[in-house]
Amino acid sequence: MSEPEVWAVSEREGSQRERGGTRADRPALAPDGLSEERAVSEREGSQRERGGTRADRPALAPDGLSEERAQWERACALAEVPEGAAVRVEFGDEPVCVVHTEGEVFAIRDVCSHAEIPLSEGDIEGTTVECWLHGSRFDLRTGKPTGLPATVPVPVYETKIEGGDVLVRLES
């Protein structure tokens, strides 16, 4: 069975040589038939006419906000998270536990790494959250477990307060 495969590759290489070489021997073509080098040159020229290349401008998110601003997402109003309490917020498929304790706001993935239980339903003690099911505790600053049975940390996210809203940066 391996002989036909070798033969097919050999035949394909032979016909490519007859047509002017293999793909690796020729300059790459853009979809419109221009060589890649020429297409890049023309694209850069038209970008300069419009006010610079992409590298000259700050990156924009799909909604038109700068990339830096787009990384921060509104979780909730600070008033919705009483001191010493936690609330669950969902960003698409990512559940986040927002905690207001000791004058600070923390955000941690809202899933206990031991038993897949929402941490937002647990107790807050200082800067730790305790899972109500088995008692696993997690440091809100680091996500590291501080009490068994959990041994795997959970992700934590940066937070900031802006205009009375809690903002969370999911790419921490």
pLDDT category of residue 68 using cuts at 50, 70 and 90: low
Q: What angle do CA 129, 100, 152 make, to 5 degrees?
A: 30
Put simply, whether the predicted model's pTM sits higher than 0.85 gets the answer: no
Largest separation between any pair of C-alpha atoms in the chain: 77
Environment class of residue 120 by beta-carbon count within 10 Å: exposed (0-12), middle (13-18) or buried (19+)?
buried
Q: Rg of the chain over CA atoms, in angstroms?
A: 27
Strand order in the sheet with 85-91: 72-77, 165-169, 156-162, 104-109, 94-101, 85-91
- First-to-last CA distance in the chain? 52
pLDDT tens per residue, range 82-121: 999 999 999 999 999 999 999 999 999 999 999 999 999 9
Rounded Cα gap, residues 94 and 92, in angstroms: 6
Alpha-carbon dihedral angle through residues 34, 39, 45, 47, given to the nearest 10 degrees:
130
pLDDT: is 29 or 10 the higher one?
A: 29
pLDDT tens per residue, range 122-146: 999 999 999 999 999 999 999 999 9
CB 83 within 8 A of CB 168: no
Q: In the prediction, which pLDDT does 171 show?
A: 79
Show the domains of the chain with their CATH numbers.
2-56 (no CATH), 71-169 (2.102.10.10)
